[in-house]
Structure 1
Amino acid sequence: MMKRAKRVCPVLSAKLLSKSKEEVPVIIRAKDNDSNKLSGLVFNMSGRVKYNLPLVGGVACNMNIGAIDKLSKDPNIEYISFDSKVFALLDIATESIGCQIPQVEGYTGKDITVAVVDTGVAPHSDLIKPRSRIVGFKDFVNDRSKPYDDNGHGTHVSGIIASNGYSSNGKYAGVAPEANILGVKALDENGSGSTSDIVSAILVKMQ
């Protein structure tokens, strides 16, 4: 019982004790970090592999409580955690982080591209005029090809990073007003997604 408890997060431990029959989203990590081998094992148990996550040596899937209980006793399993929801919070402004400090030192972000994994990025004038600095866009939620943001948080974050203040005559410029933005939409219109959505998006951009 003690060994199993060490391999399962508190949320799943509570569900195991309740003997619930529900199916829940989980991230399963293997001790040898072999996500491909783990993917085959999980597929045989649940048939619902959502992501292969070699970045953390694991996989994301949906699995019923009984299968989680059985898998948690496998000595080759490092850890099983609940694939919890993550949310974007719009509560930071450029003034609060002293965005002018790097600019005074001559750092403007020129020739630098920043990947923003968030709710997307809208073609705001501060990012596309006088020329577009949105150099790429990947949508993991709706698989759309053109930049958009149906929540607003990703555009806000992109603005903190790279707004040139075009629409405010320079008053509301970001930290790096000459930087490029690579928009990665991994959070939905409500600003939410799963932990595995974020990990998978980061992994794709690293490759």
Structure 2
Amino acid sequence: MTTAPNRPPIGVLIVDDDPLVRAGLALMLGGAPDLRVVGEAGDAADVPQLVDRHSPDVVLMDIRMPGMDGLAGTELLRARPGAPEVVILTTFDADRHVLRALRAGAAGFLLKDTPPEEIVDAVRRVAQGRPVLSPSVTRRLIDRVAESDHDRRRARARERLAQLTDRERTVAVAVGRGRSNAEIGAELHFSVPTVKTHVSRILTKLDLNNRVQIALLAHDAGLLDDGAAAG
């Protein structure tokens, strides 16, 4: 069975200040026939130039680096048109900085001790537009992080969600509670294709990248608390 033999490999840019980490990731990813490491950087300030030069599909971005860190690098990169997907590399699964990166449009995060085959699979998923952060991990991360500008963030989130229809808003809340498309369909008596259509419209209307950002916005608006008992 042939599967798209002419499809180019997924280009990956590795950004980490530790040369040993970069070498390990490059060796790991280079062993997959459908992946190709197109460049490496030890400072996020070098990322825009490398992206322009190599056009990677996915950037693996460390958070803690001297010079420009991975948070600023993610925000800078994701603000550019046609930006590659970004996956955050971290040693902390509840690091508040991870949440900031997800708000900026990162497709998810990986712990540095993630098994090699899972990192390879995550790169493939992200290249296909699928976030590498499960809904349950999203909720746990959100719940552990205390926000200092709670009231301002809530007002801004509710203003954005006001752009949605009532039905889209209901779907957004269900996404925020970690429901899959099938579970949302069962709860709301929608077909799965209908749920997918609503999710796509939410992403388009709110200029979001993925379901993780929908969940964060619903959380910021306080919608996950308002009906928590019903979820």
TM-score by length of 2: 0.27
TM-score by length of 1: 0.29
Higher relative contact order (CA 8 A, sep 6+): 1
Is the radius of gyration larger for structure 1 or structure 2?
Answer: 1
